Chain A
Amino acid sequence: MTQLLQLSISGLALGASYALIALGFSVVYRASRLFNFAHGELLSLGAFLMTALVDVLPWWLALFAAAALTGGLAALLERTVLRRMVGRPVFTTIILTLFLGLLLRAGIVIAFGTDTRGMPTPWDAMAEVQVGNATVLLSSLVSLGATTAVLVLMHALVQRTPLGVAMRAASESQEVSLALGIPVGRVLAFTWFLAGATAAVAGIFLGMFPRSVDSNLGYVALRAFPAIIVGGLESVVGAVVAAFMLGLLEVLSQAYVNPHLGAFGHNFHAVFPYAAMILFLVLRPRGLWGEHEVRRV
């Protein structure tokens, strides 16, 4: 029981980071109709920027600065490169974002080197706290709390503010939004900014002990990918819920499933989310929350 609680908390903390990644993927897909395969590198960039910025700024300020810089870069990529690709075949945009991801990755290695870095924390990185009988890393709890707070803020922004209404309007129809006087270009750039900033936050918390920051951190974004498929491409909420579930599943299967599989079970938990994704693609391709389009003719 104690172990289950302990694992559940670290699973949810992992899931919360996946949720932030999935959120970024999903809002960008809805706004620009493309899969941003460079998203993982944005996450990695955010984490590296953070390791550098904490030297000159207080920790919380460095967090905001890293998120803002990464978001700014994402908005820049949208404005300069990807906006021209609207309406082009999906294949083209996939290749393009993969390429942008490689460029970013190369840039990160040039700027920050290939050494593995620890993510600095204002608290003792290895501090533990008691939750009931379970002992949990303080970092896990903080990252669960902080990423959940960001998710709630994003939800409030999109659902409750005029800017959120404009974002949803622009993702439903750019022509209608323009005809309503919404500056669609700026709204799109802002959407990408949010995606980049949340990716950076996810990267920063994913880089904390027991994990670390290296140039492969970006690949974690691929692990959030099944969440988007399972949750439903069109549904941000679905992707977020599925991300939490997959984080939990990953950690729990590592403890409870892997040992029973013998040699085959080594790292099986990493495959588990993809197995779930394939199952969903076969049984329910539009995902858990995939929306039926409301249409009346």
Chain B
Amino acid sequence: MTASSPPLLQVRNLQVVYHSVVRALRGISLEVPQQGVVALLGPNGAGKSTALRAISGLLELHDGTITKGSVAMSGQNLLRLPADVRVREGVVQILEGRRILGELSVEENLLAGGFGMGAKARAELVESAFTRFPVLRERRRQKAGYLSGGEQQLLAICRGLMRRPKVLLLDEPFLGLSPKAVGEVSELIQRISAEGVSVLLVEQNASVALRLAHYGYVLETGKVVLDGPADRLRDDPDVQEFYLGFGREGQRGYHELKRYRRKRRWLS
């Protein structure tokens, strides 16, 4: 965030269209610094996942096209690279819904995350995942589909770490997890960030996200409507009201609802 160090990931005026007609992003710009957690907040359909897909290169699979704008990492244009090359360059997306390869064993899931690496480096990284989470070691030969939701999310993130990413794009990592698992996953995210990996975190659960993040962007209908340091966003009355669920002094009468509508218009 400081002016002295250039951002790791730089998204400029990005516009994305699905199926050649549906405009999902209407020109967003955001930056992810060399270190730290950046949160991307917003309601359903705001374009959060689209932004991640545009960065990771998975848009094509969803029939999405970038019509304008740029995505660069350390000054290198990412848009020309196919998705699998971007991953090997260090841009790793953890897909929404965990997306464990259920027919493969836990260990094979990790190995798949290290495809194309040297055997020794791969084995070391699998070992470090097992050291992080001994439960994965215990179940290394089991089909990964049998892990619990929280364990699957931990495995999904460890699988992404196999590439030694520079930036990790997390798409709703807390979706459908138990409170205990939410704790474990957010602890893992903090540790990854402390180890020097930048994180771009997409969440609907703004309170968890803003606790983890240093900086945040609020996305609505394909546009950034608000951004700032996480603590300032937490204290922002609009964010509190719309995303953290605090009413003013707990009063929420009919006139409040009307004000909400008015403010939403102003926001977008």
Q: Which residues of A contact B (CB under 8 A)?
A: 162, 165-166, 168-169, 172-184, 291, 293-297
Interface members, chain B 69-108 (any A CB < 8 Å): 83-84, 87-88, 92-95, 99, 101-104, 108
* CB<8 Å pairs between A and B, sample of 18: A162-B111, A162-B115, A165-B108, A166-B112, A168-B104, A168-B108, A169-B112, A172-B104, A173-B101, A175-B58, A180-B112, A180-B113, A180-B163, A181-B84, A291-B103, A294-B103, A296-B102, A296-B145
Cross-chain contact of A181 among B88, B146, B147, B149 (Cβ < 8 A): B88
B204 CB within 8 Å of chain A: no
B49 CB within 8 Å of chain A: no
5 tightest CB-CB pairs across the interface, nearest first? Answer: A294-B145, A181-B87, A169-B112, A294-B102, A178-B83
Question: Judging by beta carbons under 8 Å apart, are A165 and B111 in contact?
Answer: yes
B26 CB within 8 Å of chain A: no
C-alpha spacing A293/B162, complex, angstroms: 26
Residues of A within 8 A of B179 (CB): none
C-alpha spacing A93/B31, complex, angstroms: 44
Question: Judging by beta carbons under 8 Å apart, are A179 and B115 in contact?
Answer: no
Question: Judging by beta carbons under 8 Å apart, are A169 and B101 in contact?
Answer: yes
CB distance from B50 to the nearest CB of A (A): 14
Question: Judging by beta carbons under 8 Å apart, are B95 and A177 in contact?
Answer: no
B250 CB within 8 Å of chain A: no
Interface members, chain B 136-176 (any A CB < 8 Å): 143, 145-149, 152, 159-160, 162-163, 176
Task: State the interface size on chain B (CB cutoff 8 A).
Answer: 38
CB distance from A116 to the nearest CB of B (A): 44
Question: Judging by beta carbons under 8 Å apart, are B87 and A165 in contact?
Answer: no
From B93, which residue of chain A is reached at the shortest CB distance?
A179
Question: Judging by beta carbons under 8 Å apart, are B83 and A179 in contact?
Answer: yes
Question: Judging by beta carbons under 8 Å apart, are A174 and B113 in contact?
Answer: no
Known contacts A166-B115, A174-B61, A184-B84; is-contact A294 B143 (Cβ 8 Å):
yes
C-alpha spacing A167/B41, complex, angstroms: 36
Q: 9 extra interchain contacts, Cβ-Cβ under 8 A, other than A165-B104, A166-B115? A: A175-B58, A178-B61, A179-B99, A180-B159, A180-B163, A181-B163, A182-B115, A296-B149, A297-B176
Question: Judging by beta carbons under 8 Å apart, are B143 and A175 in contact?
Answer: no
B116 CB within 8 Å of chain A: yes
Question: Judging by beta carbons under 8 Å apart, are B146 and A176 in contact?
Answer: no
CB distance from B141 to the nearest CB of A (A): 12
Question: Judging by beta carbons under 8 Å apart, are B116 and A181 in contact?
Answer: yes
Task: Identify the interface centre among A168, A183, A184, A291: most chain B CB within 10 Å of its CB.
Answer: A183
C-alpha spacing A162/B56, complex, angstroms: 23
Question: Judging by beta carbons under 8 Å apart, are A182 and B101 in contact?
Answer: no
CB distance from B178 to the nearest CB of A (A): 13
Question: Judging by beta carbons under 8 Å apart, are B101 and A296 in contact?
Answer: no
C-alpha spacing A295/B57, complex, angstroms: 27
Known contacts A162-B111, A166-B115, A294-B146; is-contact A178 B58 (Cβ 8 Å):
yes
CB distance from A99 to the nearest CB of B (A): 26
Known contacts A175-B61, A176-B99, A291-B103; is-contact A296 B147 (Cβ 8 Å):
yes
Residues of A within 8 A of B152 (CB): 296
From B86, which residue of chain A is reached at the shortest CB distance?
A181
From A174, which residue of chain B is reached at the shortest CB distance?
B61
Cross-chain contact of A173 among B83, B99, B159 (Cβ < 8 A): B99
Task: Identify the interface centre among A183, A291, A296, A297: most chain B CB within 10 Å of its CB.
Answer: A296
C-alpha spacing A294/B152, complex, angstroms: 13
C-alpha spacing A159/B159, complex, angstroms: 19
Residues of A within 8 A of B57 (CB): 178
CB distance from B80 to the nearest CB of A (A): 16
Question: Judging by beta carbons under 8 Å apart, are A296 and B112 in contact?
Answer: no
From B113, which residue of chain A is reached at the shortest CB distance?
A180
Residues of A within 8 A of B115 (CB): 162, 165-166, 169, 180-182
Residues of B within 8 A of A169 (CB): 101, 104, 108, 112, 115
C-alpha spacing A176/B116, complex, angstroms: 16
Question: Judging by beta carbons under 8 Å apart, are A179 and B116 in contact?
Answer: no
Residues of B within 8 A of A173 (CB): 99, 101
Cross-chain contact of B58 among A179, A291, A294 (Cβ < 8 A): A179
